[in-house]
Amino acid sequence: MTSETKYVPKEGEIVVVGSIPDCNFCMNGTPGPYDFATWMGPWANGCERHWIAYRVGLLGMGVGQLWITIDQVADSEPPTLEQTLAARVRAFDDAHGS
């Protein structure tokens, strides 16, 4: 059972990596999934709190990325209304032996 947020990878913004490094600022093992340019100049890996404190922008080219592991990738896009209705019709048909 996991309550971790799922993400849809997006080039230059949300990137799947093998493992998440520690936050460069907490220095206590807190995960630092944000790889971002700081207002001090250098890039760093930080937790969300430190990303918010030191970032120069949101996410994107030259500003920062959110790193996620494969288990945080959303399984799929949510079904469309058409897919949902088609599944209900199939279930109805099955139930009524057509």
The token duo for 22 is 């520690």
| Residue 28 neighbours by CB under 8 Å, 6+ apart | 22
Beta carbon nearer to Zn ion, 17 or 87? 17
For residues 15 to 54, the per-residue mask of contacts with Zn ion, x marking binding by CB under 5 A and - elsewhere, is --------x-xx--------------------x--x----
Identity of the residue, 50 or 72, whose beta carbon is nearer to Zn ion in the bound complex: 50
- Percent helix / strand / coil, the chain, rounded to 5: 25, 25, 50
Cβ 56 to Zn ion shortest distance, Å: 17
Least Å distance, CB 47 to Zn ion, is 3
- Work out how close the CB of 34 gets to Zn ion at its nearest, in angstroms, rounded to a whole number: 9
Residue with tokens 């799947």: 16
Minimum distance between the CB of residue 20 and Zn ion, rounded to whole angstroms? 12
Q: Which three-class secondary structure state does DSSP give residue 8?
A: coil
# of chain residues touching Zn ion (CB under 5 A): 5
- The residues that touch Zn ion, with contacts defined as CB under 5 A, are 23, 25-26, 47, 50
